[in-house]
Amino acid sequence: MGKNVLLIGSSGDIGSAIARSLAAEGFQLLLHFYQNKEAIEKLKTEIPAEAVLEEIQADLRNEQEVEKLLNQLVYTVDAVIFASGKASIGLFQDATESMMGEMIALHVKTPWKICNRLLPEMIQRKSGKIIFITSIWGNVGASNEVIYSSVKGAQNSFVKALAKEVALSGIAVNAVSPGFINTKMNQQLLPEEKELITNEIPANRAGTPEEVANAVSFLMSDKSSYMHGEILNINGGWS
C-alpha cells in the first residue's frame, strides 16, 4: 500500500496534476477541495479508484471549516501538500482589511494550523513530508500583487524555518515555487500580456502544471532524502 497524502487544493490545475502524478506512483490521496466538485469528479476518472481514500470539502478561509477538515481525517497522513490559494491583483492602497485577513488566513494561518495538528504523529513515526506550492512572487515580489507576494513569501520563510526544526525528527519540509504556469489563474491575461511575459522568460514559454507536479514527485521520493528547507524554482529561468 502506498503512503497517504493529504492534498490541499486538489481541484486546481496544479493540484490535479499533482494528484494524477502521485496516484500513478502508488500514493493514496485525501483530496481537499472548496467549491469545484466537478473538477474532483473529473479527476477521479483519470486516476485509479483505489488511489482516492477520501474527499474533503472545506473553505480554508473559515476557522470552523478548517477544524471540520481536520476532524474528518480518519486516515494516517504521511505527507501534506499545500496547492490551494488565490491571487489578489490590484493596487495595494486599494486593499481592504477583510481582503488582507482572507489572504493571510488562506495562505498562512490555515497551513500553520494544519501542520501544527499533523506534526505530532509525524514526529512520533519519525517520518513525514510537508510540501508547499508557493510562487515566484514570494521570492522577488510583484507590483499590483503585493498581498499575494507577501503571503507567498511567508510560506517560503515558514518552509525554511520549520525544516530546521523537524529535520532531526525525519520530516522533510520543502516547497516548489512556480513561475508563469499555464493555468486557469492566468487565463484572465490578454494574449499580448502573455506574450510580454513569455518574452521575459529565457525558456520563452509558460510552464505546465505537469512540470510543477514533476518537482513535487521528486520531493515525495527517496531521491530527495537530503533536501530540507529548499525552495525549488520551476520558472524557465525567469529569476
Could you report the per-residue pLDDT of 195-233, keeping only the tens digit for each? 999 999 999 999 999 999 999 999 999 999 999 999 999
Q: Is the pLDDT of residue 181 over 80?
A: yes
Tell me, what's the pLDDT at 185?
74
Q: Which of 34, 75, 148, 226 is catalytic?
A: 148
Q: What is the CA radius of gyration of the chain?
A: 17
Is residue 43 included in any domain, yes or no? yes
Are 105 and 83 in contact by the 8 Å Cβ rule? The answer is no
Is residue 135 included in any domain, yes or no? yes
Average pLDDT over residues 104-129: 97
Tell me, what's the pLDDT at 97?
94
How many C-beta atoms lie closer than 10 Å to residue 159's C-beta? Answer: 24
C-alpha cell at 31: 483530496
Domain containing residue 57: CATH number? 3.40.50.720
Is residue 110 included in any domain, yes or no? yes
Is residue 239 included in any domain, yes or no? no
Mean pLDDT of the chain: 95
Tell me, what's the pLDDT at 192?
87
pLDDT band at 87 (very low <50, low <70, confident <90, very high): confident
Average pLDDT over residues 124-152: 95
Is residue 59 included in any domain, yes or no? yes
Q: Is the pLDDT of residue 121 over 60?
A: yes
Quote the number of domains for the chain: 1
pLDDT band at 82 (very low <50, low <70, confident <90, very high): very high
Give the Cα separation of 55 and 4 in Å (integer): 13
C-alpha cell at 214: 514533476
Average pLDDT over residues 20-45: 96
Is residue 57 included in any domain, yes or no? yes
pLDDT band at 1 (very low <50, low <70, confident <90, very high): low
Which range marks the domain in which residue 186 is found? 4-234
Tell me, what's the pLDDT at 188?
75
C-alpha cell at 154: 511567508
C-alpha cell at 237: 529561468
Is residue 85 included in any domain, yes or no? yes
Look at residue 56 and give its three-state secondary structure: strand
The proportion of the chain whose per-residue pLDDT surpasses 70, expressed as a percent, equals: 100
Q: Is the pLDDT of residue 128 over 80?
A: yes
Is residue 42 included in any domain, yes or no? yes
- 148 as an active site residue: the answer is yes
Average pLDDT over residues 179-196: 85
